[in-house]
Amino acid sequence: MLATDATVFPSPQGNTSVRRMVIEARERGFDSIVAIGQPCWEQDGFSVIGGTLVREPHVKAVLNASRANASGKGLLVVNGGNNAFNRAVIQVKGVHVIRHLHKTEKNSFDHIIARMSAENHVAIDIDLRPLVMLRGVWRQKAIQRYSDITGLCERFGFPLTLSSNARSVVELKSVREILDLASLVGIAEPDARKALATVKSLLSPVGPVQVVL
């Protein structure tokens, strides 16, 4: 079974080496991870997919990152922003994933952007870290936001990815734990397993995309 943790942060951004994370992720049932700030490499059937994360809410920064990742070997991930930003980003050639929509306003990801995401084969990441780390009303807000997104996914069919957002080996989750956490936001196990396999398909784009100038 293909299973990729779609965002982890090895050192220096986290406090664990990428090789130590690989060992732990393999033991927890994964065959690949997206490691932010790392190059792509493989060893003994396990893939480290290099990831570039754009944190700035500016389309120019996304365009620059897309050009830098012109080879398409690594995954280009963008932190979501407002509606206009997300609508523009989703049309930039080379963008694979938009994440952290739980931190944005509800109208930042509507039915129009959901349809565009499906057409351009851009995935929406469900970062499961808030479901583990947050408490009380903030956790409930994250669950509701993700539930809204998964509802749009059922309607429009855009791809999802699932990530632990781990910064150390102790924060990595097993495949079983990921599936259980995904169920809290309305993702059934077959769909969660499909989401765990999404990253590999994102590196072979389907459908037309264009660069927003």
The answer to whether position 11 is within a domain reads: yes
Could you tell me the two tokens for 124? 């929406």
Given a cut of 60, whether residue 212 has pLDDT beyond it is no
Total domains present in the chain: 1
Q: How far is CA 133 from CA 77, 152, 163, 184, in A?
A: 22, 25, 14, 14
Q: Is the dihedral of CA 21, 63, 211, 111 positive or negative?
A: positive
Does pLDDT of 213 surpass 70? Answer: no
What pLDDT does 139 receive?
96
Q: Is residue 207 part of a domain?
A: no
For residue 39, the model assigns a pLDDT of 94
Place of tokens 């991870």: 33
Contact between 192 and 173 (Cβ < 8 Å): no
Give the percent of the chain with pLDDT over 90. 91
Is a pLDDT exceeding 50 seen at residue 166? Answer: yes
Residues 6 or more apart from 168 whose CB is under 8 A from it?
Answer: 14, 15, 16
Instruction: Note the Cα 145 to chain centre separation in Å.
Output: 15
What is the pTM for the complete model shown?
A: 0.92
The residues facing 125 across adjacent strands are 161
| Rg (the chain; Cα; Å) | 16
Over the stretch 70-121, which tens digit does the pLDDT of each residue have?
877 899 999 999 999 999 999 999 999 999 999 999 899 999 999 999 999 9
Task: Grade residue 209 by pLDDT with cuts at 50, 70 and 90.
Answer: very low
Residue 2: both structure tokens together = 């293909």
Q: Does residue 6 have a pLDDT over 80? A: yes
Q: Output phi, psi for 2, to 5 deg.
A: -75, 130
Predicted confidence at residue 71, as pLDDT, reads 77
The Cβ of residue 92 has, within 10 Å, a number of other Cβ atoms equal to 22
Taking residues 176-204, report their average pLDDT. Answer: 95
Going from the C-alpha of 203 to that of each of 96, 101, 115, 140, the distances in angstroms are 8, 22, 20, 33
Residue 48 in contact with residue 18, Cβ under 8 Å?
A: yes
Would you say residue 213 lies in a domain?
A: no
Taking only the tens place, the pLDDT of each residue in 24-66 is 999 999 999 999 999 999 999 999 999 999 999 999 999 999 9
Residue 50 within any structural domain of the chain: yes
Distance CA 66, CA 108 (A): 22
Instruction: Specify if 210 maps to a domain.
Output: no
How confident is the model at residue 70, as a pLDDT?
83
Asked, for residue 175, whether it belongs to a domain, the answer is: yes
Q: Is residue 209 part of a domain?
A: no
Instruction: Classify residue 73: in a domain, yes or no.
Output: yes
**Residue 207 confidence (pLDDT) above 50:** no
Look at 12-21, 192-201, 203-212 and tell me which has the smallest mean pLDDT.
203-212
**CATH assignment at residue 88:** 3.20.20.140
Question: Does the structure show a pLDDT above 90 at 204?
Answer: no
Mean pLDDT of the chain: 93
User: Domain range holding 20?
Assistant: 4-201
